[in-house]
Structure 1
Amino acid sequence: MSIFRELTEGLPRQAPGSAAATLRALGLVRGLPTAPRILDVGCGPGAQTVELARATSGWIVAVDIRQRFLDELTERAAAAGVLPHITTINTSMFDMDFGDRSFDLIWSEGAIYIQGFAAGLTAWRRFLRPGGWIVVSELTWLVPNPPAEAAEYWARNYPGMGSIERNTQLVAEAGFVSMDGFVLPTQDWWNNYYGPNERRVEELREKYADNPEVLATLDDASREHDLFRAYHEAYGYVFYVMRKPAA
């Protein structure tokens, strides 16, 4: 198993978030059918997938490229009693081949960056029925002039990271309307994401104490945690909620 897999698998979430944030974002979506068809792109271990199934009684297609995450989602859904509402598909978001206008709602927490914010919105738009909604969470600059240390780190690790103003413009350019959203609270980073990840890092430091290459990777993970502690007012995850025009 690669060190990246050991760092990430078995954790509650693969990006900042919480059940409360998922439900808050869902509350900004209006006019869904009684049992909507939902596509969850880059679902990871599926904490938000289960919440969506509970809240909507919809039919969810959950897509991820890592089978371990899909297996974890299946276990969670079965325990929550919503497994009949969820279909998992092991495929890349780049290779999705659903029919046009197949879904009432497209959801993606912390994953659209893989395809790129603008590219993902543009590519996924055709899967959405007229009047349907897309909801994504995305790492975003919250200030116009971020601290140099944070800017340098994210320029290397996510050069496509934009501001709220820039992403709002990209939403409009992709042909969406009725944009809404909010910044995730700081605790949504620590409770289910960085907190568990920090504990995993310390476990792996002991396991790989004699492996300098792995320790360097773990040091970089710790640096990311420390940067957010220092500069959480400069960047964060933002939920973007938008609608495809009905005509």
Structure 2
Amino acid sequence: MSDFHPVFWQIHSDLPRQGPGNFEATKQAFSHVKGLPDSPQILDVGCGPGQQTVDLATLSNGNITAVDFYQPYLDELKQRFEAQGWTERLKVVCADMADLPLAAQSFDLIWSEGAIYIMGFDRGLNKWRSLLKPGGYIALSELSWLKPNPPEPVQQFWQEGYPSMRTLEENRAAMETAGYTLVDTFSLPESAWWTDYYTPLENKINQLKIEYEQDSGAMEILEAEQQEIDLYRHYSQYYGYVFYIGQIQEN
């Protein structure tokens, strides 16, 4: 984490979310997870400050293990659960999602919103599968191409930023190859990008540009963040976050 310029953490602190999403999308994805126990064991991988973790606790009576590599996000999440009186339902783990210290545990549901790209879609599906109980579910959102032949600015930006991004159809096939029965997929609406993520993020970028106007390194990061927002503003029909829900078969 010391390799990041301090402005990066300023940009990505005190936001409602650290990526596209909203309660309605989380609720829609959760509605496809059928037959869970009354108090399911849920693993939220790459939870960030955990708005979706709170949503999961609202939608279920589950006990949630939340994993992130950035301790301040976990501290913020704990405060959110304490405010709801749900402290006993949350366990936080500061760890790398590619090396989860959870070998002795198993879960009814693995959840990950906008985070599996960090270790790769296929690798995450295969590695996390061993943590699911028989008949368990996985639900995750992943940046995906929605339309062929994206314009050159879009293609170039994501070729540099996320070269392994694939189409919705390719990711559906990858889930089945990894041993999951595909339950459903759906694209997040544009409002899920703007309301709790890009709009407050853009406001913060504008404030920080004033503070860091003499810092070329910080300004480069701020401009890159703004470029991502502007790209989605103009080309949202070509790509988006897609929820993928799958289930492993009972033995």
TM-score bracket for the superposition, by shorter chain length: over 0.9
Q: 1:246 aligns with which of 224, 238, 250?
A: 250
TM-score by structure 1 length?
Answer: 0.97
For the pair 1:53 / 2:52, whether they are aligned, the reply is no
**Secondary structure, counterpart of 2:130 in structure 1:** helix
* Mapping 1:84-233, distance limit 5 Å: 84-99=88-103, 102-233=106-237
For the residue of structure 1 that corresponds to 2:241, the secondary structure is strand
**Distance apart, 1:220 and its partner CA:** 1.1
Kindly state the Cα deviation for residue 11 of structure 1 after the two structures are TM-superposed. Answer: 0.9
In 2: Cα distance, 1:147 partner to 1:238 partner:
20
Cα shift readout 1:151-203 (whole Å, capped 9, x = no counterpart): 11000000111100100110011000033121000010000111111011011
SS across alignment from 1:188: helix
Residue 132 of structure 1: SS of its match in structure 2? strand
Instruction: Report the alpha carbon displacement of residue 145 of structure 1 after superposing the two structures with TM.
Output: 1.5
Aligned residues: 247
> What is residue 38 of structure 2 aligned with on the other side?
34
Aligned-partner SS, 1:31: coil
Q: Structure 1, unaligned stretches of length 5 or more?
A: none
**1:54 and 1:82 in contact (8 A); partners too:** no
Alignment-derived partner of residue 9 in structure 1 = 13
Q: Indicate which of 62, 67, 71 corresponds to 1:63.
A: 67
Q: Does the 8 Å contact 2:175/2:182 carry over to 1?
A: no
CA distance in 1, matches of 2:29, 2:151: 29
> Would you say the 8 A contact 1:11–1:196 is kept in 2?
yes
SS at structure 1 position matched to 2:18: coil
Please say if 1:77 is aligned against 2:94.
no
One-letter amino acid of the counterpart of residue 202, structure 2: E
User: What's the CA shift for 1:101?
Assistant: 6.4
Q: TM-score, normalised by structure 2?
A: 0.96
Structure 2 unaligned blocks of 5 or more? none
Q: Distance in 1 between matches of 2:50 and 2:127?
A: 22
Q: Which amino acid aligns with 1:78?
A: E
Q: In the aligned structure 2, how far is the partner of 1:94 from the partner of 1:224?
A: 26
Report the Cα distance in structure 1 between the residues aligned to 2:182 and 2:127, rounded to whole angstroms: 19
Q: Provide the C-alpha distance between the structure 2 equivalents of 1:178 and 1:103, rounded to a whole number of angstroms.
A: 18
Partner of 2:24: 20
Letter in structure 1 aligned against 2:168: I
Counterparts of 1:94 and 1:165 in 2: how far apart (Å)?
25
Runs of 4+ in 1 over 3 A off after TM superposition: none
**Identical aligned residues as a percent:** 44
Task: Provide the aligned C-alpha RMSD in A.
Answer: 1.1
> Would you say the 8 A contact 2:95–2:101 is kept in 1?
no
Deviation at 1:207, TM superposition (A): 0.6
CA distance in 1, matches of 2:104, 2:183: 22
Cα deviation for residue 97 of structure 1 reads 2.7
